[in-house]
Each structure stands twice: as structure tokens, then as C-alpha cells.
Chain A
Amino acid sequence: MINSKILLVDDETVFTGNMSKLLTTRGYRVTAVNNGDAAIKALEEEKFDVVVLDLKMPGMDGIATLTEIKKLGLFTETLILTGHGSIDTAMEAIRIGAYDYLTKPCEIDELVAKIEGAWDKKDGAERQDIQDKIHKVVESPGSVFNVFPKDKRKE
């Protein structure tokens, strides 16, 4: 989806730089951070549609970051893009709640396809959520402020 907001998390700055260029060229709004803490911070401040997450990073690694992201309970899908090469860690990530995984190096088209898939899933979940909330508001209009709390994050 054009204009989707992507958060790139990878300790390789050259890689995140290149990847930002490539994704921007393809119409995405990309923010790149180089570690897990920065990713969590970014997610708290700003709304992102898809997080592209590396698994092997110094400090907080991908799995830990993913766990933290899941704790935030956001409408954000996480796509694992790992240079660590082994499917099993990626599978673990999927078990924790990642949308899918890709191994580095990967074709940009592949990545774009996965991002699109992730966006669709995120979008579907969000729509479902809104429908559920509307349903609730229709049932009890008084709860409107509880059901739709103000999202302080940037769009």
C-alpha cells in the first residue's frame, strides 16, 4: 500500500540506508533505526504499519524486540528480515507473533510482497477492530470514550 509507514530495524546502517532508499523509491515512508530500544521508542512515538526487523543485533536482539513490540499491543505487523540465516529462529519469531520472515539477502520485490501481505493483515485486523468497537458503541453509546481512547501517536 503506497504511503505505508515502515520501520526498519537493523544494526547495519549501510543496509538500512540502502533499504530506505529502495523502499522510498517504491512509495513507502521509511524510518530506519539501528537497535531494538530505538525501535520501541519509535513505535511509542509514531504509528507504523509494518516493522521490518533484523534478528541479530547487539543489545536487545530481534526476538526480545519482537516480544516488546507485542507487549505494546499495536496494530503493527512485524516482518522478520534476518541475516542469521537459520529458519528455526525465524520460526520462533513467528510463534511469538511475527507476520513472516525473510532471510538476507533477499530481493526487494520479495520484501515488498511480504510488506504488502503484512499491511493487508494489519489493515484487516484494524478494520475488524473498528467494526467491533462500532458494534460496542452501537450497543452502548456511553462507552464511546473508553472504546476509542485518544491515540497520542503521530499518524
Chain B
Amino acid sequence: MAAQSKTNGNTSGNHSDAYGKKNYSPLFWRFITLTVVCSLLPLLLVGWGINIHYTRFSEARVIDSLKNQLEHHDKIIELFINRRSYALKVIAKTHSMDELIGPNKLDEVFEVLNHEDGSFTDLGVIGENGDHLAYAGPFSLKDKNYSNAFWFKKVLENGIFISDMFMGFRQEPHFIIAVVRMERGKRWILRGTVDTEVFRSLVESTMVGKTGEVLLVNPDGIFQTSPRFSGKIMEKAPFAIEKPQKKIKVDILKDALSAKTRQIPRQIAVWTWLKEPKWMLMIRQDYDEALNAVKHANFVTLVGLHLSALIILVVTMLITRHMIVVIRQRDEEADQLNRQYLQASKLASIGQLSAGVAHEINNPLAIILTERQILMDMEGQAPPMDPDLKAQFHDSMEQIDIQIQRCKRITQNLLRFARRTQSLIEPVDLNAFIKEVVELMEREARTSGIKFFTDLEENLPEIQSDPSQLQQVFLNMITNAVDAHDGMPYGTISITTGSENSGKNVRIGFADTGSGIRPEHLEKLFDPFFTTKPVGKGTGLGLSICFSIIERLGGEIKVRSNPGEGSEFIISLPLEPPSGLKEELAQG
């Protein structure tokens, strides 16, 4: 604001500078900010909102689908184990221990049991004391005693036991299902080892994309199968295991789970606990892969969104810049009008001031002149004077005459200047009018060696204007043109008329072959009291008067000049005077 008022402060002193330096960039940025706040910001917010919403929605669907997969897989695994448990129970119920430990009997049963899918690696019968009584399978475990095995006690307690993966005597990962049969007061155990490969292929059959994996972990965090990426069977899982829960749990793991081979990015994990055995089944997949389609769609929408935002911004900037240019032009036009108005009012006040002074001076001047003339007349008839006195008398008389002529020029100009108030609008035939004026001036310029040429357009329309004021202007133009030849033996003044602006304006040109106007003077040409004529010759009012008259009549004056070659003043006048002037005149 401080800068603004400073600018305004300057206006009165040096208006042309202040107008030129008006700063439009705050306006520009205000427009831009407004556009950004009102259109871009809502657009972006809605766009981003939809994007986030869509991402969440898609995420939920992906998670649902993973959950379904998990549930399904969970059922398959449980079913697999249940069927194996059931088969063992059936065998234990339908065979006595003696039967089973009989020669080749267990092999026979094992063969029947594995007939369909070969899901058992071996089968063994264990006595109450832990002795391995019979064994069917590829290992030589017959003489082992299991009374110290971790599962042995548990199976005796529970009647059935499904172990976690363990190494056991055979030194490779496996898990067992064991059932107890009470026979004649004695307990014996039927133990089957589930084929690790069969189980693993069952568990790992669910393939989830490129990055998905299925993990089966016991409550201690030991892998029960070899997951695709995260570790190997019997190894400790590289993440904390929660307590068993019934529900399916979902999590998006943000922390990078480091495996041996690769850095795991953000993942979606769903997990649930099997009923028996208490194993945790987990499916997890890289978040990015699971939401790949969404991500792609999002990417496209976001690119589109931001691109359109950018386009809006760029277009806004272009439009705003254009607008600023238009506004600046308007402002400059307004400033121009303002300046012209200032110029006009300056002229008007000078006119009022000077008219009062000048009005009555011509009469006393005329009297002084006649007094001088009387003295001159009488001097011729009087007795001879002293020669010195006579010389001085003549010098003084000469000087009085020169000074009177000087005063006359000044008062005449001042009076012309002041007479602008008595306008009268009537039809003017410019060509006839100019002929009249030229005739008048030709007489005055007869001795100067200047020739006048006119090139007047035939059928030039009549204009509604003020003939007396126009006459002043034309006379002034021609007088100036004549004066421009000062010191030249001859010259020409060409006066032309023509239509302009498709017949809406008429143009009157005054071209001379005089001395021309220096470029630095062009700017000040129409200022009152600006003159390049020697002191006493020009008042500096002529062109000011012309300027204000033509402006008042709704026209304009242009000037072209080449120093040394001459000048051309071109006056353009409307066919009708401005409505303001008519009203002014109508009111008197």
C-alpha cells in the first residue's frame, strides 16, 4: 500500500512517469492464486479423494480374496490331516495289536493305507513301554524306543496326537499322527508319519502370483513347510508369532521382512490358526503385486489428473497474461485520456487567465501606435532637430513599433486561445473552407517565396464542426508552416484532404518543406508556451490552441517530422462532433 500511495503522490508532479511504471504483477498473481484456490485445489482434492477411496476399496477386495483363499486352504489342510487321523483310528479300532505286529501284517495294512494317495511315509506300532513293536516303511526304526519321545507321553494322555515337524531318529523333518488303542487293559500306539513331500505340495499348492507365498508355522514360530521365499522347513520364522486366535487376521506389513535372498517390500498378510494341530497358516503377497491393477489404474488417473491440473494452470496463466495485457492497454488508454484531459484543462485555465489580461491590451497598443505615428508625422514637418536627437528619435520610434508588434502577436494568440468558449457547430465544407484560408494566407506569404499546393479530395463529406475554431487551427498550421521556412529562399506547403477510417473521419494534412522538428521537441510540441522561435517571435501557444481545439471537436493531431526535410501535421476530424460538446453547446 505504501508503494501505491507513493505512486499516486508522484502522479501530480510527474504523471507520465507514474503511469508508465504501474506494476501489474501483484494483479497477475492474485488472478493465478484465485484460480488455483477456486478450481485447481478442489479438482486435486476430489481427484486425490477418489483415488484414495478407490485404492482402499480395491485393497479391501484384494484382502477379501486372499481371505477366501486362506479359508479354503485352511479347510483343505484340516481335511487332509483329519482324514489321515481317521484312517489311523480306523486301523487301530479294527485291528488288534497282535494282529498288527504279526509278520508282514503291518506292511500289508500300510500298503492298503497308502494305496490311494501314498500320503504316509511309514507306519509303526508302539507298545505301552515305548518299544517299536512293528514298523512298515523305508527306515530301520524297528528297535527304537520312543518312551522318551516328546509325543509319546502326549499321545498316551490325549488318545490322539498330531505332532509338529520334527527331526526324530530319522534326522529329517517330518510329523506324525499317533492314535492309542486300549486293548485288554493295555495301551498300544499306532503311529503314522505323514509324507512330508505330499503334505508340502498340498500346503504349497496355493500359488499366489509371483510374490505370494504360503507359510505354515507352529506356535513356536517354526516353519512346518518350506515357504517359497521366507525360509526353510524347521527354521525359525523371521517374524513374531501371535497367540492362536480363531479369527482370520489381516495385516499389511509395512516393515521390510528380510529374508536371506531379498528384501521383502510391503506385504499383505492373512493368517488363521488350524484347529488341530495348532498351526498358523499364512498367505502373504507383495502389496504392490496384489494391487498391481489398481496401482496401474491409479497411476493413469493421477497422471491424467495432474496433467489436466497443469494444463488448467498453464491455460490460466496464458489467459491471465492476456487479460493483464488487455487491462494494461485499457489503463494506458485511460491514462492517455487523463493526460489529454489534464492538458486540456491546463490549456483552459491558461486561456481564462490570459484572456482577461490580453483582451483590452490591443486598444491601448493601438493608441500607442497612433501616438507614435503622429509624432513621426509631425517630425517630418517640424524644424530640423539636432542630428543626435533625430537619430535617437528614429531608433526609439523603431523600437516602439517593434515592441508594439510583439505585444500584438502575444495578445492575438492569447485571445485566440481564450475564444474557445464560443463554439458553434454547423456544417462545414472543408474543401471550400481550406481554399478560403489558403487564399488568405497566400496573400500574407506572397513575399516569402513559398508556394501553396492543395490536393483536395472531391466529394469529401461535409462535417459538423466549429468553422471559426477550425479556421484558427488551419491558419495556425499554415502560419507555422510558413515560419518553418524562415531563412529559406523558397519552399512549398501542401494541403491535402481525404476520407479516413472508411468514411467516418476526414483527414487534413499540412506538409511543409521547412526546417522540421527535432525529435526531442516532438514530445513538448503541444505544451503551452513551448516555442523554438527566437524570443519575441513566438508565444508558444499556437499548437496548444490547435491541440485543444481539435481535441474538443473530437479529432486528433498527429505530427511527422524529419529535421531538415520538413514536417507534416495530420488532423483527423469526425463527421460529427462528440456528443459531450453538443450538449455543452446546447446548454449555452
A residues touching B (Cβ–Cβ < 8 Å)? 12, 14-15, 18-19, 21-22, 25, 83-89, 91-92, 103-108
The interface bits of chain B over 410-433 (1 if a CB of A lies within 8 angstroms of the residue's CB, else 0) are 011001100100000000000000
Is A25 touching B377 in the complex (CB atoms < 8 A)? yes
- A104 to B363 Cα, complex, angstroms: 7
B357-395 CB contacts (< 8 Å) to partner A: 358, 360, 362-363, 365-371, 373-374, 377
Is A86 touching B419 in the complex (CB atoms < 8 A)? yes
- A74 to B468 Cα, complex, angstroms: 28
Is A104 touching B419 in the complex (CB atoms < 8 A)? no
- CB of A63 to closest CB in B, whole Å: 13
Asked if B208 is an interface residue, CB under 8 A from chain A, the answer is no
B residues touching A (Cβ–Cβ < 8 Å)? 358, 360, 362-363, 365-371, 373-374, 377, 401, 404-405, 408, 411-412, 415-416, 419, 467-469, 471-472, 475
Is A18 touching B471 in the complex (CB atoms < 8 A)? no
Contact pick for A18, options B362, B370, B404, CB 8 Å: B370
Is B415 touching A84 in the complex (CB atoms < 8 A)? yes
Closest A residue to B472 by CB, please name it.
Answer: A88
- CB of A99 to closest CB in B, whole Å: 14
CB-defined contacts of A88 to chain B, threshold 8 Å: 419, 467-469, 471-472
Closest B residue to A17 by CB, please name it.
Answer: B370
- CB of B251 to closest CB in A, whole Å: 102
- A91 to B367 Cα, complex, angstroms: 24
Is A15 touching B415 in the complex (CB atoms < 8 A)? no
- A108 to B371 Cα, complex, angstroms: 11
25 pairs, CB–CB < 8 Å, chain A vs chain B: A12-B366, A15-B367, A15-B370, A19-B370, A21-B374, A21-B377, A22-B370, A22-B374, A25-B377, A85-B358, A85-B362, A85-B411, A85-B412, A85-B416, A86-B468, A87-B475, A88-B419, A88-B469, A88-B471, A89-B468, A91-B471, A104-B363, A104-B408, A105-B365, A105-B370
CB-defined contacts of B366 to chain A, threshold 8 Å: 12, 15, 83, 104-106
- CB of A145 to closest CB in B, whole Å: 42
- A84 to B363 Cα, complex, angstroms: 9
- Also in contact, A12 and B363, with CB within 8 A (given A25-B377, A85-B415): yes
- Also in contact, A108 and B370, with CB within 8 A (given A12-B363, A84-B362, A91-B468): yes
Is A106 touching B475 in the complex (CB atoms < 8 A)? no
User: Secondary structure of the B side of the interface?
Assistant: helix
- A14 to B369 Cα, complex, angstroms: 12
The 8 A-B pairs at the shortest CB distance, nearest first, are namely A88-B468, A18-B370, A83-B362, A104-B366, A85-B415, A105-B369, A105-B366, A105-B365
CB-defined contacts of B471 to chain A, threshold 8 Å: 87-88, 91
- A22 to B366 Cα, complex, angstroms: 13
Contact pick for B367, options A12, A25, A107, CB 8 Å: A12
- CB of A106 to closest CB in B, whole Å: 7
CB-defined contacts of A89 to chain B, threshold 8 Å: 468
Is A106 touching B369 in the complex (CB atoms < 8 A)? yes
Closest B residue to A20 by CB, please name it.
Answer: B370
Is A86 touching B370 in the complex (CB atoms < 8 A)? no
Is B416 touching A108 in the complex (CB atoms < 8 A)? no
Is A105 touching B362 in the complex (CB atoms < 8 A)? yes
CB-defined contacts of A107 to chain B, threshold 8 Å: 369, 373, 401
Is B365 touching A104 in the complex (CB atoms < 8 A)? yes
Closest B residue to A85 by CB, please name it.
Answer: B415
- A84 to B408 Cα, complex, angstroms: 11
Is A103 touching B370 in the complex (CB atoms < 8 A)? no
CB-defined contacts of B411 to chain A, threshold 8 Å: 85
- A86 to B471 Cα, complex, angstroms: 11
Is A105 touching B404 in the complex (CB atoms < 8 A)? yes
CB-defined contacts of A106 to chain B, threshold 8 Å: 366, 369
CB-defined contacts of B475 to chain A, threshold 8 Å: 87
- A31 to B358 Cα, complex, angstroms: 29
CB-defined contacts of B467 to chain A, threshold 8 Å: 88
- CB of B408 to closest CB in A, whole Å: 6
CB-defined contacts of A14 to chain B, threshold 8 Å: 367
- A14 to B370 Cα, complex, angstroms: 9
Closest A residue to B414 by CB, please name it.
Answer: A85
Central interface residue in A14, A21, A104, by most chain B CB within 10 Å: A104
- A87 to B373 Cα, complex, angstroms: 25
CB-defined contacts of B369 to chain A, threshold 8 Å: 105-107
- CB of B438 to closest CB in A, whole Å: 14
Is A87 touching B472 in the complex (CB atoms < 8 A)? yes
Is B415 touching A86 in the complex (CB atoms < 8 A)? yes
Closest A residue to B415 by CB, please name it.
Answer: A85
- CB of A101 to closest CB in B, whole Å: 10
- A83 to B416 Cα, complex, angstroms: 12
- A6 to B415 Cα, complex, angstroms: 29
- A106 to B373 Cα, complex, angstroms: 11
CB-defined contacts of B371 to chain A, threshold 8 Å: 18
Contact pick for A86, options B360, B373, B377, B416, CB 8 Å: B416
Is A83 touching B363 in the complex (CB atoms < 8 A)? yes
A-B contact sample (11 more), CB < 8 A, given A86-B468, A88-B419: A14-B367, A15-B367, A18-B370, A85-B411, A87-B471, A88-B467, A88-B468, A88-B472, A92-B468, A105-B366, A106-B366
- CB of A55 to closest CB in B, whole Å: 11
